[in-house]
Amino acid sequence: MYLKECDLDTLLAELEPLLLELEEKRIAALWPSLGLTALFCFGALGFILLVAVTPAFFLAGESPVMVDSIGLWQASIGVLVSSSALFVFLWRFFSKDYVHVFKQNVIQKMIASLVDGALFWPSGHIESVEFEQSLLFRDDFNRYEGDDLVEVMLDKTKVRFSELHVKKVTGSGKNKETIEIFDGLFFIADFNKNFDFQLSTSDFHGGERVELDNPAFNDLFDIYTTDTVQAFYVLSPSFIERLTLLAQKADFTFSLIQGQLYIAISMNKKLLEPTIFRSLLEFRVYEEYLDDLLLVFGIVEDLSLNTRIWGEKAS
Amino acid sequence: MIDVTWIFVLALGFLALVGLLIYFSIYNNLIAKRNQVENIESSIDVTLTKRHDLIPNLIGAVRAYMQHESETLTAIVDLRNRAANHALDPAERMKLEDKLTSSLGKIMVSVEAYPELKASQNFLQLQASLNEIEEQISAARRAFNAAVTALNNAIEMFPSSLVASGMNLERRSVFEIASPAYRENVNVASSFGL
C-alpha cells in the first residue's frame, strides 16, 4: 500500500506556529475585503433608495408618483450580485500571500504526509490538450483555468491531477451566456493493461455504444468505444465492480485512451483552498482536506491499478 | 370530388409503405446483430490461436524446472495440438479449449512450488503474456455473450421475432465463462494443499 498513515494531530501540532500566523493573515485579508464590500453595498443601496424616493418627496401633494417597485428590486439584486463579485475580487487581492503560503506549506505537508515523492504546483494544472484528448467533453470551450497540480508515482502507477474550471462564454453584456463544461478534479493515471483503442463514457466521433455484462454498471455509465472486444478486455468484471463502487464515493465520468485512464470528478466546491470565513485553527477543516486527498490518492487502490500481471505492463 | 375508394387505396398504400420500412429496419438490425456475433466469434478464434502459439514457448521454459509435472505438461501439449485442428466440430473444440484453460491454470498454480522458475525473467514474461491472452479470451467470450444475448432477444421479441423466423435465424448458445484460477492473486496455500 502506497498510502501512509497520516497522523493529523502530530502534523497540526508541527504546523501550529505557522497556522497561527496564517490565521492572522486570513483575518487581515478578510476585514478589508468585507469592509470595502459593505461600503459599496450600503452606499449603492442608499443611492438607489434616494433616487427612488426623491421624486415622491418633491411631488408630494400632487398626484403621488410611486416608485417603480420592480425596477427597485432589480437594482437592489444587481447591487448584491456586484457586491459578491467585488468581494471575490478584493479577497483575491488581499489574500494572495495567505493563499500562497498556505498551499506551499500546509497542503504540501499534508500531501507529503500521505504519499512519498509527490510534486505539487499550486498554480499549475492539467493542460487543455490532455483535457481534449480525454474525449470526455464534446462541447467547445474558451475559458480554461485550473490550479493545484499534483504529480506522483503511486507504487507502479504514475498519477497526475488538478482542479479544472472549463467554460464556454458567448455574447457580451446582457446577452452574455456562460455554459459550464466541467468544474471539478481532473485525474490522469497510467492504466495497467496495454491497449490501442478509445473508450469513453461520452459519445465521440467513431465510437459505438456497447452494453457491458453488468446491469448496475450500465445504469451508471454509457460506454462508447472503437473496439467492442477490447472494451470488454479493459473493463474486466472486477474493474467494472470497482468502478461501480467508486461511483458511490464520487460523481465522475471516465475514459481510456492510449494507455491512460482519465477520470473527471465533478465537485461543487473548490479543492485544497484555504478557508475564508472559517478559522484555520479548526481541526475539522483539515479533516476535510485529508478526506479530499484520500479520495483522489485512493483511486489507484480502489481501481487496483497497481495490479500489473498482463503483458508488457507486468513487472 | 375524390372517390372514397381512392382514399382507401392511398391509405392502404401508405400503411404498406410504413410496414415495409419497419420490416427493412428490423431486417437490417437483425443482420447487424448476426454480423456482430460472427465478428466477435472470429475474435475468439484469433485470441485462441495466440494462446496456441504461446504454449510451445511456455512449455519449453518450464519443462526443465517442473519435472514432477511432466504428465500435465504432456497433456497440455496434446490438448493444444488437438484444439489447433480447425477441422474439429466447434463445440468439441471449445471443450478442448476449456480443458486447456484448466490445465494451464493448474500449472500456473504449481509454479509457486518452484522458486527458481518464479525467478526466471523469461518465464515471468511468458506468464504475463499468457495472463494477457487469457484476459483477452475471457473478454472476447464476454463480448460474444453480450452480442448473442442481444441477438437472441431480437429473435424472440415481437415484432422482430416475425422477421427473424422468415430469415431462419436461430438462437445461439452463450459461453459459460470460467475465471482462470491464476489470473488474479494466486492462493499459495491452496497450491500446497493447505
Q: Enter the C-alpha cell of residue A30.
A: 478578510
Assess whether pLDDT exceeds 70 at residue A65. no
Question: Coil, helix or strand for B101?
Answer: helix
- Span A36-53, mean pLDDT? 86
Cβ–Cβ gap B142/A237 under 8 Å: yes
Q: How far is CA B111 from CA A62, A116, B6, B67, B114, in A?
A: 105, 34, 83, 12, 5
Looking at residue B188, its pLDDT comes to 34
Cβ–Cβ gap A312/B128 under 8 Å: yes
Quote the mean pLDDT of chain A.
Answer: 88
State the residue for C-alpha cell 502459439: B53
A120/B193: higher pLDDT: A120
Cβ–Cβ gap B129/A309 under 8 Å: no
Minimum distance, in Å, between the CA of residue B129 and any CA atom of chain A: 4
Cβ–Cβ gap A311/B145 under 8 Å: no
Q: What span, in angstroms and rounded, lies between the C-alpha atoms of B109 and B107?
A: 5
When CB atoms are compared, the residue of B128, B139, B147 closest to A233 is: B139
Cβ–Cβ gap B132/A194 under 8 Å: yes
Assess whether pLDDT exceeds 80 at residue A54. no
When CB atoms are compared, the residue of A193, A228, A311 closest to B129 is: A311
Minimum distance, in Å, between the CA of residue B99 and any CA atom of chain A: 22
Q: What is the pLDDT of residues B97-151, one digit of tens each?
A: 989 998 898 888 888 888 888 888 888 888 888 888 888 898 999 999 999 999 9
Assess whether pLDDT exceeds 50 at residue B183. no
Q: What is the pLDDT of residues A221-265, one digit of tens each?
A: 999 999 999 999 999 988 999 999 999 999 999 999 989 999 999
Minimum distance, in Å, between the CA of residue A22 and any CA atom of chain B: 48
The contact set of A with B (CB < 8 A) is: 193-194, 210-213, 228-233, 236-238, 307, 309-314
Question: Which residues of chain A make contact with B146, given a CB cutoff of 8 A?
Answer: 210-213, 232
Largest CA distance in chain B: 98
Residue A188: beta bridge partners? A160, A262
Cβ–Cβ gap B142/A311 under 8 Å: no
Cβ–Cβ gap B145/A213 under 8 Å: yes
Return the minimum-mean-pLDDT range out of A51-55, B39-43, B106-110: A51-55
When CB atoms are compared, the residue of B127, B135, B145 closest to A236 is: B135
A242/A2: higher pLDDT: A242
Minimum distance, in Å, between the CA of residue B96 and any CA atom of chain A: 22
Assess whether pLDDT exceeds 70 at residue A62. no
Question: Coil, helix or strand for B108?
Answer: helix
Question: Which residues of chain A make contact with B127, given a CB cutoff of 8 A?
Answer: 309, 314
When CB atoms are compared, the residue of A194, A213, A229 closest to B43 is: A229
Cβ–Cβ gap A236/B139 under 8 Å: yes
When CB atoms are compared, the residue of A212, A213, A233 closest to B135 is: A233
- Span A255-278, mean pLDDT? 90
| CA proximity to A298, closest of A248, A234, A236 | A248
Tell me how far apart the terminal alpha carbons of chain A are, to the nearest angstrom: 16
Q: What span, in angstroms and rounded, lies between the C-alpha atoms of B107 and A190?
A: 31
Query: What are the backbone angles phi and psi of residue A179, rounded to the nearest 5°?
Result: -110, 125
Return the minimum-mean-pLDDT range out of A197-211, A226-240, B62-76: B62-76
Residue B85, H or E segment: none
Looking at residue A96, its pLDDT comes to 83
Q: What span, in angstroms and rounded, lies between the C-alpha atoms of A166 and B131?
A: 40
Count the Cβ atoms, other than its own, within 10 Å of residue B111. 19
Looking at residue B124, its pLDDT comes to 87
Q: Are B168 and B174 in contact (CB under 8 A)?
A: no
Looking at residue A313, its pLDDT comes to 63
Q: How far is CA A141 from CA A131, A202, A265, B179, in A?
A: 11, 16, 18, 45
Its pTM stands at: 0.80
Instruction: Enumerate residues 6+ apart whose C-beta is below 8 A from A22.
Output: A98, A101, A102, A106, A274, A280
Cβ–Cβ gap B40/A229 under 8 Å: yes
Q: Are A163 and A187 in contact (CB under 8 A)?
A: no
Instruction: Enumerate residues 6+ apart whose C-beta is below 8 A from B30.
Output: B151, B154, B155, B160, B163, B164, B167, B169
Could you give the angle at which helices B70-83 and B4-63 cross, rounded to 10 degrees? 150
Q: What span, in angstroms and rounded, lies between the C-alpha atoms of B46 and B42?
A: 6
Cβ–Cβ gap B139/A213 under 8 Å: no
Question: Coil, helix or strand for A225?
Answer: strand
- Span B36-56, mean pLDDT? 91
Question: Coil, helix or strand for A207?
Answer: coil
Question: Coil, helix or strand for A288?
Answer: helix
Probe site for chain A from B42, B122, B135 (most A CB atoms < 10 A): B135
Question: Which residues of chain A make contact with B184, given a CB cutoff of 8 A?
Answer: 238, 307
When CB atoms are compared, the residue of B36, B128, B146 closest to A309 is: B128
Residue A208: beta bridge partners? A225
Q: What is the pLDDT of residues A111-170, one digit of tens each?
A: 999 999 999 999 999 999 999 999 999 899 999 999 999 999 999 899 999 999 999 998
Count the Cβ atoms, other than its own, within 10 Å of residue A6. 18
Count the helices and strands in chain A (H runs, E runs): 9, 9
Question: Which residues of chain A make contact with B132, given a CB cutoff of 8 A?
Answer: 193-194, 310-311
Question: Which residues of chain B make contact with A238, given a CB cutoff of 8 A?
Answer: 184
Q: Enter the C-alpha cell of residue A87.
A: 468581494
Cβ–Cβ gap B140/A229 under 8 Å: yes
Q: Percent of chain B at pLDDT above 90?
A: 32
Cβ–Cβ gap A311/B40 under 8 Å: no
A313/A106: higher pLDDT: A106
In A32-156, where do the E strands start and end?
119-121, 143-154
Q: Enter the C-alpha cell of residue A206.
A: 467513431
Three-state SS letters, B67-79: HHHHHHHHHHHHH
Cis peptide before A32 (omega within 30 of 0): no
Cβ–Cβ gap A211/B132 under 8 Å: no
Question: Coil, helix or strand for A279?
Answer: coil
Q: What span, in angstroms and rounded, lies between the C-alpha atoms of A301 and B5?
A: 74
Q: Enter the C-alpha cell of residue A136.
A: 470526455
Query: A21: exposed, middle or buried (C-beta count within 10 Å: 0-12, 13-18, 19+)?
Result: middle
Looking at residue B187, its pLDDT comes to 38
